[in-house]
Amino acid sequence: MAEEPNRPSVFADSREPDDFGADRIRWLINLRWVAMAGVLAATGLVLAGYFPGVAWPVLLVVVAVGSVYNTLLSKRTSGLGIGKRAAVSQALVDLVLLTVVLWAAGGISSPFIGFYVFHLALIGILGGPGATLVATAAALAAAGFLALTDWVPALRIGVWDPAPPWDTIANVVAFVTTVAAAAYVVLHAVRELRDRESALGRARDQAELEYQVIANTLDELEAGLEVVSPHGRIEWRNRLAEELAPGATADDVWGCPVATRGCEIQPPGLCPVWRAREEGSEGRCRFTVADRSYEMLSFPLT
C-alpha cells in the first residue's frame, strides 16, 4: 500500500532537501575575498591621490569588517549555518557593505553604482523570486539613501571628482567589472544547472535499471507485486499481479479478490489490503488459479 497516491513513480522521493551546503558557502566566501581585495586596491589608488574626494578611512573600515566577517565564516562554516537562507543573508550583508563603499565614493555619482546589478543577480540565483524582491527593495532603498546624500550635504562623507584621465578609466573599469561579474554569476548558475540535469539523468537511468531488476526478479520468483494507495488507487503492478489480481474499476480503484478468486481471508473479516489500510496490520488470503495456488500477503507501508 503506497503512502502517497499522487507520486509519479513508486521509487520517487517527494521531499527536496535544501542542498545549498558548505561548498557553495565557500564559493560566496571566495567572492567576498575578491571584493575585499578590490576595495583595498581602490583605497591604495585614493591614497595615491588619483581619487582625492573618496573617504579612504571608510574604505579601510569596510575592508576590515568584511575580512573579519569572512574569516569567521571560513572557520565556522557549519556553525554559522548553511542553506539558502544563510547564503542570502550573507549576500544581503554584502549589499550593505557595497552601499557603505559607494557612500564613501561619492554616493550615486560613483560609476560603480551598477554593482547593485551584480548583487541582485547573485541573490536571485541563491534565493529565488522572494529573495530577489527583498533584495530589490533593499537596493532601491540603498540607492535612495545615496541619492539623498547628494541633496543633504550633511550626510555626505565622500565626493566623486577624479582628475582626468582617471574619471574615464574608472568608468571603463566599472562597466567592465559589472558585466564580467554578472556574466560570471550567470555562467556559474548555468554550469550548476547542467550538472544537476546530468545528475538527474543518471538517477533516472539508475531508477529504470532498479525497476527492471525488481521486475525480472519478481518474474523469476513467479511473484506478483502491487502498490495500492490509502485511497485504494493502484499505483503500480508487475506483470503477474496484473494477470492474477482483479481488474481495476473505471476509477482505477483496487478490487479485493475475495469474490472473483474465492480468496480465503486470514484472519477472517476485512480484505487484507483494507486491513493494512484501516488497522495497520498484516493480512493474507489464499486463492487458486487453474492448477496453482497463490497466497496474497498485505503489509502497510506507513
Grid cell, residue 214, equals 525488481
Are the CB atoms for 113 and 102 separated by under 8 Å? Answer: yes
Q: What is the pLDDT of residue 81?
A: 56
pLDDT of residue 259: 61
Q: Is residue 3 over pLDDT 50?
A: no
The per-residue pLDDT for range 21-78, each reduced to its tens digit, is: 677 778 888 999 999 999 999 999 999 999 999 999 999 999 999 999 999 888 875 5
Confidence of residue 1 (pLDDT cuts 50, 70, 90): very low
Beta bridge partners of 191: none
Neighbouring C-alpha atoms within 13 Å toward the C-beta of 191: 6
d(CA 258, CA 246): 10
Residue 108 CA to residue 117 CA, distance in Å, equals 14
Q: Which of 282, 285, 212, 281 is nearest to 245 (CA)?
A: 285
Average pLDDT rounded to a whole number, residues 284-301: 75
Which helix (DSSP H) or strand (DSSP E) does residue 286 occupy?
strand 283-289
Residues of the chain above pLDDT 70, percent: 82
Q: Which helix (H) or strand (E) holds 293?
A: strand 292-298
247 pLDDT exceeds 80? no
**CA dihedral for 46, 47, 50, 54, sign (positive or negative):** positive
85 has pLDDT over 70: yes
pLDDT tens figures, 100-118 = 999 999 999 999 999 998 8
State the Cα–Cα distance between residues 160 and 29, nearest whole angstrom. Answer: 29
> pLDDT tens digits, residue range 256-270?
666 666 677 766 767
pLDDT of residue 121: 84
* 90-100 b/e (C-beta count within 10 Å ≥ 16 → b): bbbebbebbbb
User: Which amino acid would we find at residue 87?
Assistant: A
Residue 297 has pLDDT above 90, yes or no: no
pLDDT tens profile 144-160: 999 999 899 899 999 99
Q: Where are the domains of the chain?
A: 22-199, 226-298
Tell whether the model's pLDDT for residue 239 goes beyond 90. Answer: no
More confident: 100 or 8: 100
> Cell match 559589472: residue?
178
For residue 2, what pLDDT band results from cuts at 50, 70 and 90? Answer: very low
Which residue has better confidence, 214 or 276?
Answer: 214
Q: What is the pLDDT of residue 244?
A: 73
Residue (of 280, 290, 291, 296) closest to 225 by Cα position: 296
- Span 195-212, average pLDDT: 88
Provide the sign of the torsion angle of the four alpha carbons 112, 122, 33, 76, taken in this order.
Answer: positive
Cα 127 off chain centre by: 8
Rounded CA separation 50/46 (Å)? 6
For residue 214, the model assigns a pLDDT of 84
Closest CA to 45 of 168, 176, 162, 164: 162
The answer to whether 13 touches 200, Cβ cutoff 8 Å, is no
For 83, left (φ over 0), alpha (ψ -120 to 50), or beta?
left
CA angle in degrees (0–180, nearest 5) for 151-123-95? 35
